[in-house]
Amino acid sequence: MALTLHSAWRATAPYRVRIGLAIKGVTYDYAALDLIAGDQRLAAYRGVNPQGLVPTLDLGDGHVLTQSLAILEWLEETRPTPPILPRSAVDRATVRAMAGIIACDIHPLNNTRVGRKLNRLGLPQEAITDWIHGWIRDGFDALEPMVSRHGGQLAFGDEPTLADCCLVPQVYSARRFELDLTPWPALTAAADRAGLFPAFISAHPNQQPDAKPSAQGQT
Amino acid sequence: MALTLHSAWRATAPYRVRIGLAIKGVTYDYAALDLIAGDQRLAAYRGVNPQGLVPTLDLGDGHVLTQSLAILEWLEETRPTPPILPRSAVDRATVRAMAGIIACDIHPLNNTRVGRKLNRLGLPQEAITDWIHGWIRDGFDALEPMVSRHGGQLAFGDEPTLADCCLVPQVYSARRFELDLTPWPALTAAADRAGLFPAFISAHPNQQPDAKPSAQGQT
């Protein structure tokens, strides 16, 4: 059965899932949404994912998965090799906490729909950029000592984990919003080393069918 | 080894963990933070959880866990009975997606620190309440058809799952912010039925040592 990933090249949540699929060696069809044009709000997509968010992973057998972390956990359970979670329960909790800091405490505050809402509330672009930078800063301040303590070549040890699946897209996003990353050398170095792994290269936004590397605007 | 949960009676993320601990029959010491007074920003607590958020679960053996979903997954892995995730991978993905809608798409936008930030940006209280209601509405719109489809007595089937651990606190929070819940009858009924289970009764904010049921203000 062919899997179909509903994605948008620059959005960080589907980027996480693309990394996980690539680590596990899973092939899939790529269905692109243009988030600037509002494809995610069209009835056609709402039929697939009523929440109108990306990613969605259609398993092709009638089952449709949403929420990036839930999809990555499903991947780990159905394709255990190579693992993206360590073996001990405490280490798994650490990796999941690192992922949670990004997926719960940074990204939800900075995605397209929130930027649009702040704009409607009359906030000037400068205040919106401050908002975005502030939440990344808080989250990275929490992550940096965790990566320093538990990281090796990557965020946790030397092999890619769920933490890297979340961290690499978040660092990509931080750079896109022109945040100076020098206060967080450990996490930045880990993300940059992860970015050299083949799975992370193939999952990069610029490698996607819908990439428009010269485009502007928040996705 | 005695576990210690750093909690605040009305905050929804530690409420989720209290439910999970109660379902699993795990006893623990309760360490209360007054979020209104700013206990979470004091050096003493930052030493336990550098992010200054609740919950933190101190395992008493040198390991300290953060992030409610990571803690709940750790609980499920270390105390598998009774389970809070169903057996099949696809069903587990559905339950985790339900939890993710609350933990990633609703709660991070509505917690104390965000309310404080919006206030500093000059938004009037009415606009902040609209903001809170809006994100709950979007999330509940996504959850309602999932509960209708997969729910039985509770959010997924008839036994408590990770989805109920997140849903019950979120419905409690929605009521606290005086959101009319009539548009979401399935999820409201599931949450109200879950609330009658002993584990959910003991985890309720009003049952905590630091409860101040007559207090006002956002936590």
**pLDDT by residue (tens digit) across B120-140?**
999 999 999 999 999 999 999
Where does residue A186 rank: exposed (0-12), middle (13-18), buried (19+ CB within 10 A)?
A: middle
Least CB-CB distance to B108: which of A89, A93, A109?
A: A109
In chain B, whose CA is at the least distance from the CA of A76?
A: B89
Mark yes or no for CB contact B90/A63 under 8 Å: yes
Reported confidence tier of residue B170, pLDDT bands at 50, 70, 90: very high
Rg (alpha carbons) of chain B, rounded to whole number = 17
The predicted structure's pLDDT at residue B215 = 58
pTM beyond 0.90, yes or no:
yes
**pLDDT by residue (tens digit) across A57-100?**
999 999 999 999 999 999 999 999 999 999 999 999 999 999 99
The predicted structure's pLDDT at residue A215 = 58
CB B46 within 8 A of CB B94: no
The verdict on whether omega for the bond into residue A55 sits within 30 degrees of 0, i.e. cis, is: yes
- The whole-number average pLDDT for the span B162-178 is 97
CB A181 within 8 A of CB A190: no
Domains and their CATH numbers in chain A: 4-82 (3.40.30.10), 89-200 (1.20.1050.10)
Reported confidence tier of residue A51, pLDDT bands at 50, 70, 90: confident
Least CB-CB distance to B108: which of A53, A67, A108?
A: A108
From the CA of B211, how many Å to the nearest CA of chain A? 26
Residues in B closer than 8 angstroms to A186, CB to CB, are: none
Mark yes or no for CB contact B97/A70 under 8 Å: yes
ipTM confidence score: 0.96
Residues in A closer than 8 angstroms to B90, CB to CB, are: 59, 63, 65, 74
Closest CA to A21 of A53, A57, A64, A62: A57
Reported confidence tier of residue B113, pLDDT bands at 50, 70, 90: confident
Q: DSSP state, A154?
A: S
| Between residues B218 and A152, the one the model is more confident about | A152
**pLDDT by residue (tens digit) across A93-149?**
999 999 999 999 999 999 888 999 999 999 999 999 999 999 999 999 999 999 999
C-alpha to C-alpha distance for A43 and A41, rounded to whole angstroms: 7
Exposure of B38 in the CB half-sphere (CA atoms within 13 A): 4
In chain A, whose CA is at the least distance from the CA of B139?
A: A51
What is the residue whose two structure tokens read 């909790």?
Answer: A93
